[in-house]
Amino acid sequence: MAITTRSSTSVKPVRDLERFDIKQVSDSEQENNKKVLKSDKERRWAALSVSVRRTETQ
């Protein structure tokens, strides 16, 4: 019981912060952030697929 209440209280302020940041950031900055996130995800997937291929060939 104590664990669940602790986690819910620690998660809530983070969500509020994110909501506040999004309001403050301009549209163009948001677009740039999305592009960065997307390319970062693609890089991770590429690295993942390479490592998977390596394990398959061994």
Identify the pLDDT of residue 51. 76
- Predicted confidence pLDDT, tens digits, the chain (58 residues): 455 555 555 555 555 555 555 555 667 777 777 777 778 888 888 888 877 777 766 5
Domain that holds residue 20: 2-57
Identify the pLDDT of residue 19. 58
CB 22 within 8 A of CB 30: yes
Identify the pLDDT of residue 6. 52
Identify the pLDDT of residue 24. 59
* Distance from C-alpha of 20 to C-alpha of 11, rounded to nearest angstrom: 15
Cβ density class 13-38: b for 16+ within 10 Å, e for less: eeeeeeeeeeeeeeeeeeeeeeeeee
| Number of domains the chain contains | 1
